[in-house]
Structure 1
Amino acid sequence: MAEPRRIALMPGDGIGQEVMAAAAEVLQALDKQTPLGLTWDWLEWPSTDWHRRHGEMMPADAMTQVQAYDALLMGALGDPGPLSDANRYCLPDSVSLSPLLQFRKGLGLWACERPARLLPGAPQYLADERAAEVDMLVIRENSEGEYVNQGGRLHRGTADEVATQLEVFTRRATERLIRHAFVRARERLEARGADARHFHCADKGRAGAQVCLITKRNAQPYWGDMYTEVFAEIAAEFPEIGVHHELVDAACMKFVQCPWTFDVVVASNLHGDILTDLAAVLSGGLGLAPSCNINPDSRAMPALFEPTHGSAPDIAGQGLANPAAMLLTTALMLDWVGCAQAAERLRQAVAKDLATTAGQRRTCRDVTAGVIAALH
């Protein structure tokens, strides 16, 4: 008998505590239906409360401890106290969010995937009826680019101060990122089958799948041209996949103007960071936006799964948090650990609950109970 796969539940701060409780309850319901072969542990870290008690966001050996798990499911990080509480324990983002970068870089999780699909019943912020067809996957480079944090400040605080911020792009990281985008486009095409949508592509007419490359090569030609050249080389290996290229500013415009024309989008660390939040709004808002940080080439280290909504300290502890993003993120985690059927049941349950309660004001408890009812 195979060993159970181990999951670390990391509630973190603010509404992370509430949505993680919802995720655990739903996991238990799924496990009762069909045993998942999973075990999970609750970890008090990383969190602001852990920092308040120990002077750091997580233990010194945290990176070693998490390697015992197959996946990490995180709630949210940041100040957990209500904004009206003058005594709350506040930390700068550079401290409270630092575990995210430590996990992504220390565990080699070089790809961030954020699907954006508008489910029936979700808020639709665009008036065009075609906005209901939004179904894209944004893949963001996670290991280098604009977020390598190399640089410095010279003559700090004086009129002669100079700040430098270095960007680093390597061919190795570029190749693996873009190849992964094409693999995911092929998988999406196969999953659609006869129902495959068609996308207008730059040089292949209409295709049932598309990868759109995002750069700013007109203003940043060195890495932009490298990305473009590698993209063309890898695209030749996937003749059935359509290709497209957008500058990041034009992409932002077209995400609003015609988001239904995008399928798989691949972008650098910074550009992907911006576009994924915009894509989340197109799929109904951050309360419905799942996310994962993975190494598609290896399972030697655990992957990190987290919703994108943050700790929302203004509503923390009031039971108002929508756990849907966390539950959809949990479905991504279940896919990763080999529980694909349970993952799809969970996605369908979230979609059914959303569609049958559209427009209602509901609590975290209400949504959790509704999803569990839909599972049955």
Structure 2
Amino acid sequence: MAAQSIKLALMPGDGIGLEVMAAAEQVLAALRDHYQLPLSWEQLGWPSTGWHREHGQMMPDDGLEQLKRNGYDALLLGALGDPGPANDPERYRLSDSVSLAPLLTFRKGLDLWACERPARLLPGAPQYLADPRAREVDMLVIRENSEGEYINQGGRLRAGSIDEVASQLEIFTRRAAERIIRHAFERAQERQRRRKHNGETRDYQCDRDRIATAQVCLITKRNAQPHWGDMYTEVFDQLAGEYPGVGVHHELIDAACMKFVQSPWQFDVVVASNLHGDILTDLAAVLAGGLGVAPSCNINPADKTLPALFEPTHGSAPDIAGQGIANPTAMLLTTAMMLDWLDLGKAAEALRNAVAQDMQSTDSKQRSTEEITHTILRRIRESA
């Protein structure tokens, strides 16, 4: 892909999304110049609450078709949501079910069935666990994005009455289970090769009483939800036979949350359902320094004909929006993930290194978004 023209759609969204997107755009321009990247982009005013204010919806009716028709290779999203302060009746307010709906639209409409969120504690990032081994946190949580608990099947009967009944169905298919679990094994092998190339060594305690240098941990709640839990486990065991060099491990979601805090360095690649992955990724982000430094992507590893979606895990932070103090670190690391996806690995590594150096070299003084961005740009120029 790197030899061809690459077209991006930048979607600032709401709140601090506009500020961190401005930082990402400056960095993309610098990387394009220094590395002669075949990049171009367009900035879209949707999805956003601003668009909703003018048009009564978060995005155009044909928004999804526009993304497909315009030939974008990737989408970079800032943040969505602006509930507004409860004591300000003049503030335009939307519920999360409305403001965040475009995320599900993109994931389903573009068939982005895998959500990846790496959690690696970079030097200089806040360390919330006192155990010194917490510095070794380096995991990848892979979340099934297309079905499961978020399929939104169900309804409410006799709403508002004492006899109201609400149903929320979970839908799981073997096809989706196989593709997400296989992807987890493939990513574990890739991470193992990366560590070997970098001269790193890492061992994981795995099921079947052995140690392995790469591991995939499956998360379910099969003791209480045996139908989909057993299916996932059967698929997991079947595919594990095709990857003899990768260790396997299984945890229930509640035990996994506990062990993420007790000993997160024991995890490598973690694969989970939509809801369980949603929970674990936020917890893993805190272990790696917080949501303010956590990148994320929504991809279809088997098909790059439709654009993938890249977004930082933090929200729109309306309480600090417009003050120029939003930290763009998560957005810039997300931008690096996007560049990797686009086969622009050299530029991605330069950006990632610049961010890591900035985190390691700064003191506790709060810096503005502009100050952080200018420091990153300077480090990129120096490395180039």
TM-score by length of 1: 0.98
Q: 1:181 aligns with which of 179, 184, 198?
A: 184
Partner of 1:266: 271
Partner of 1:354: 359
> Is 1:118 paired with 2:121?
yes
Is the contact between residue 12 and residue 44 of structure 2 (CA under 8 Å) also seen in structure 1?
A: yes
Is the contact between residue 83 and residue 95 of structure 2 (CA under 8 Å) also seen in structure 1?
A: no
Partner of 1:257: 262
Q: 1:75 aligns with which of 51, 54, 78?
A: 78
Distance 2:87 2:266 in 1: 43
Partner of 2:19: 18
Is the contact between residue 82 and residue 315 of structure 1 (CA under 8 Å) also seen in structure 2?
A: no
Distance 1:152 1:240 in 2: 45
What is the DSSP-based 3-state SS (H/G/I as helix, E as strand, rest coil) of the residue aligned with 1:374? Answer: helix
Deviations 1:49-108 (A, max 9, x none): 011011111111111111120000000001175666442110111111110000000000
Q: Comparing 232-241 with 74-83, which one deviates more in the overlay?
A: 74-83
Matches for 1:86-165 after TM superposition, within 5 Å: 86-165=89-168
Distance 1:11 1:84 in 2: 26
Q: Which amino acid aligns with 1:200?
A: Q
Deviations 1:286-311 (A, max 9, x none): 00000000000001110000001010
State the identity as a percent: 69
Partner of 1:60: 61
Is the contact between residue 334 and residue 340 of structure 1 (CA under 8 Å) also seen in structure 2?
A: yes
Is the contact between residue 14 and residue 80 of structure 1 (CA under 8 Å) also seen in structure 2?
A: no
Is the contact between residue 83 and residue 94 of structure 2 (CA under 8 Å) also seen in structure 1?
A: no
Partner of 1:335: 340
Distance 1:305 1:83 in 2: 30
Distance 2:72 2:55 in 1: 23
Deviations 1:206-234 (A, max 9, x none): 11110000000000000000000000000
Structure 1 stretches of 4+ moved >4 Å: 80-85
What is the DSSP-based 3-state SS (H/G/I as helix, E as strand, rest coil) of the residue aligned with 1:151? Answer: strand
Distance 2:357 2:89 in 1: 41
Cα RMSD, aligned residues only: 1.3
Q: Which amino acid aligns with 2:137?
A: V
What is the DSSP-based 3-state SS (H/G/I as helix, E as strand, rest coil) of the residue aligned with 1:22? Answer: helix
Is the contact between residue 204 and residue 243 of structure 1 (CA under 8 Å) also seen in structure 2?
A: no
Distance 1:90 1:104 in 2: 24
Structure 1 residue 34, shift from structure 2 partner: 1.0
Partner of 2:243: 238
Q: Which amino acid aligns with 2:320?
A: I
Q: Which amino acid aligns with 1:254?
A: K
Distance 2:115 2:105 in 1: 14
Distance 1:225 1:276 in 2: 23
Distance 2:87 2:248 in 1: 50
- Gaps of at least 5 residues in structure 2 are none
> Is 1:315 paired with 2:320?
yes
When residues 75 and 207 of structure 1 are mapped into structure 2, their CA distance, relative to the original with a 3 A threshold, is same
Q: Comparing 354-363 with 116-125, which one deviates more in the overlay?
A: 354-363
What is the DSSP-based 3-state SS (H/G/I as helix, E as strand, rest coil) of the residue aligned with 1:195? Answer: coil
Structure 1 residue 247, shift from structure 2 partner: 0.3
Deviations 1:15-47 (A, max 9, x none): 000000000001111112111111010100000
Q: 1:278 aligns with which of 259, 279, 283?
A: 283
Is the contact between residue 145 and residue 167 of structure 1 (CA under 8 Å) also seen in structure 2?
A: yes
Structure 1 residue 371, shift from structure 2 partner: 1.0
- Gaps of at least 5 residues in structure 1 are none
Is the contact between residue 81 and residue 316 of structure 1 (CA under 8 Å) also seen in structure 2?
A: no
Q: Comparing 25-34 with 98-107, which one deviates more in the overlay?
A: 25-34
Structure 1 residue 373, shift from structure 2 partner: 1.5
How many residues are paired up? 376
Deviations 1:123-147 (A, max 9, x none): 0000000000000000000000000
Q: Comparing 195-204 with 105-114, which one deviates more in the overlay?
A: 195-204
Matches for 1:211-226 after TM superposition, within 5 Å: 211-226=216-231
> Is 1:367 paired with 2:372?
yes
Is the contact between residue 295 and residue 303 of structure 1 (CA under 8 Å) also seen in structure 2?
A: yes
Distance 1:335 1:301 in 2: 16
